[in-house]
Amino acid sequence: MSFVAPPPPGALAAVATGVIGAGWLSGTIANFSIIGMPTAQSIPQSALEIWHGMFTRGMAAMPKVAGTVALAYAYAAYDSHSRGISWKGYIAAAALVVSIVPFTIVFMTPTNNTLLAAASGQSVLSQATLSELIRKWSFLNITRSFLPLLGAATGFVSFLRN
């Protein structure tokens, strides 16, 4: 019977940080679409301001959380590689988590820019257009939330396989 040594505490902490952090990130991003945007839509006269507040807070925090999670996974990959065990799953998990940034740039920028212009008073949107843009943003955002969720699952499966 072969014995596999348990990971050192630092590596275990890195994996836990990665998995839990990626799950938290996914849930927080999804929450904007599941709870935040329906609430904003229920108060039409304040919908744009609510969206803008959530967007601003999310933009300030989520990339930093994603970067921290990716660093944790990178350390887990480094440690696994140095111990001669599978490490590529942790790199894949890190890539999935930080892919929220290019997803945002590629798929969400036009919608974000239109809503930001309206929020700053540079343009005026009809209530119907605003409602449609918030619905579109909400759909794109919930889609984006699956990236860190997949990162959490990939990191966890990588841990179990080691």
Q: What's the pLDDT tens digit per position in 111-154?
A: 999 999 999 999 999 999 999 999 999 999 999 999 999 999 99
Q: What's the gap between Cα 20 and its chain centre?
A: 12
Residue type, 41: Q
* E strand intervals along the chain: none
CA 108 to CA 2: how far, in whole Å?
A: 50
Rg (CA), the chain: 19
CA-CA distances (angstroms) from residue 14 to 35, 74, 161? 30, 9, 16
Contact by Cβ (8 Å): 33, 141: yes
Helix axes 47-82, 127-161, angle to 10 degrees: 20
CA 122 to CA 104: how far, in whole Å?
A: 22
Q: What local confidence, expressed as pLDDT, does residue 119 receive?
A: 98
Q: What's the pLDDT tens digit per position in 79-99?
A: 999 999 999 999 999 999 999
Q: What is the pTM of this model?
A: 0.93
Place of tokens 């990339």: 63
CA 50 to CA 119: how far, in whole Å?
A: 10
